[in-house]
Copies of this chain bind each other. A is one copy, B any other.
């Protein structure tokens, strides 16, 4: 942890200071908890009253607010805040382990300069790792895997044979990448395993959450596009293609052979059936079940998932079904009375 003056921070994020530039900041904090010596941010205008009442020393804002805190005016306060957290606190520092004598590295594997391998991590035959990668304890890199530079594999992450991993990829603990797709040919009531000869490709800057399960493709590769971030406990089916810069929140499931465009956002526990095509810039609500193709730019919710605006009205009416049923019955009675002979 470092301390910085407001001026240093404003210069770093390219912001303009309202108040004393000399105030010293030692930590970043949330709007609810920030106190003296701390910096926070306002990105959602509805929390403006909290900025007015804050004890924080400084606050990142898009437009000036009436507050005692020093303000740093910047176009995208949340992005600036991220920069400040990096500046003050930094990203995690990994223990220096070099190549642990307690690791198991096949003689044919190639490790780039600066790559470190912790105790109980293993690297298979003909695997190729780039520079400055870091393998925590228990990580298992299978044979013939290719990995770029600056990747981090947290404890017990597993990369199966033959997968391809780009630069700056992060795989959190206990995630599995490249296990066999769920592919069986059922013949006379018995399920026969189909060899899964495709791979998983994780493009540059992908992050895979803890406990994820990313299946390799049956014949084609499973692909997670550049910059996409996958939350914890997400399951991706075999042969599925996730586009660039998507966000898949924890516990999402995408079945096999589905295609997602770029910049899609999937809420927690959402599920997508196999073999469908989801466009670009699609937003899918938490817990939604998507069973049909989705056009570019759509925002959908529910199971089955429909347009979010419609869904919010419609799903909130389920509560009134008993009342609606009763009213229909009452209407039937009244109409019957009005004209009992009508067919």
B313 contacts A317, C-beta separation under 8 Å = no
A79 contacts B192, C-beta separation under 8 Å = yes
A209 / chain B contacts, CB cutoff of 8 Å: 179, 182, 213
A291 to B82, alpha carbons, bound, how many Å? 27
B328 contacts A317, C-beta separation under 8 Å = no
A119 / chain B contacts, CB cutoff of 8 Å: 104, 120, 122
A255 to B249, alpha carbons, bound, how many Å? 9
A14 to B288, alpha carbons, bound, how many Å? 44
A322 to B239, alpha carbons, bound, how many Å? 37
User: Given known contacts A156-B174, A172-B179, A219-B30, is B271 in contact with A268 (CB within 8 Å)?
Assistant: yes
Question: In this complex, what residue of B is CB-closest to A213?
Answer: B232
Candidates B158, B215, B303; contact of A154 at CB < 8 Å: B158
A239 to B29, alpha carbons, bound, how many Å? 12
A273 contacts B286, C-beta separation under 8 Å = yes
A79 contacts B185, C-beta separation under 8 Å = yes
Candidates B172, B193, B320; contact of A325 at CB < 8 Å: B320
- Is the contact region of chain A dominated by helix, strand, or loop, or is it mixed? loop
Minimum CB–CB distance for A217 against chain B, Å: 9
Stretch at the interface among A2-10, A15-23, A85-93: A85-93
A28 / chain B contacts, CB cutoff of 8 Å: 197, 219
Question: In this complex, what residue of B is CB-closest to A182?
Answer: B231
Report the copy number of this chain in the oligomer. 3
A190 contacts B82, C-beta separation under 8 Å = no
A61 at the interface (CB under 8 A from B): no
Question: In this complex, what residue of B is CB-closest to A103?
Answer: B119
Minimum CB–CB distance for A240 against chain B, Å: 11
B314 contacts A322, C-beta separation under 8 Å = yes
Using C-beta atoms within 8 Å of the partner chain, give the interface range for chain A: 35 or more
A271 to B271, alpha carbons, bound, how many Å? 13
A184 contacts B219, C-beta separation under 8 Å = no
User: Given known contacts A232-B213, A335-B331, is B322 in contact with A321 (CB within 8 Å)?
Assistant: no
B251 contacts A271, C-beta separation under 8 Å = yes
A176 to B251, alpha carbons, bound, how many Å? 14
User: Given known contacts A154-B158, A195-B89, A209-B213, is B220 in contact with A190 (CB within 8 Å)?
Assistant: no
A166 at the interface (CB under 8 A from B): no
A140 / chain B contacts, CB cutoff of 8 Å: 136-138, 155-156, 173
> Which of A119, A211, A255 has the most chain B CB atoms closer than 10 A to its own CB?
A211
Minimum CB–CB distance for A291 against chain B, Å: 8
Question: In this complex, what residue of B is CB-closest to A335?
Answer: B334
Minimum CB–CB distance for A59 against chain B, Å: 14
A85 to B217, alpha carbons, bound, how many Å? 13
A191 to B104, alpha carbons, bound, how many Å? 34
User: Given known contacts A268-B255, A271-B287, is B172 in contact with A154 (CB within 8 Å)?
Assistant: no
- Proximity string of chain A (210-226) to chain B, C-beta cutoff 8 Å, 1 when within and 0 when not: 11110100111000000
B124 contacts A95, C-beta separation under 8 Å = yes
A158 to B233, alpha carbons, bound, how many Å? 15
| 18 A–B contacts from the bound complex (CB under 8 Å) | A86-B195, A92-B180, A95-B106, A155-B158, A156-B174, A170-B180, A170-B193, A174-B174, A179-B210, A211-B213, A237-B250, A318-B321, A320-B325, A324-B328, A328-B328, A334-B339, A334-B342, A337-B339
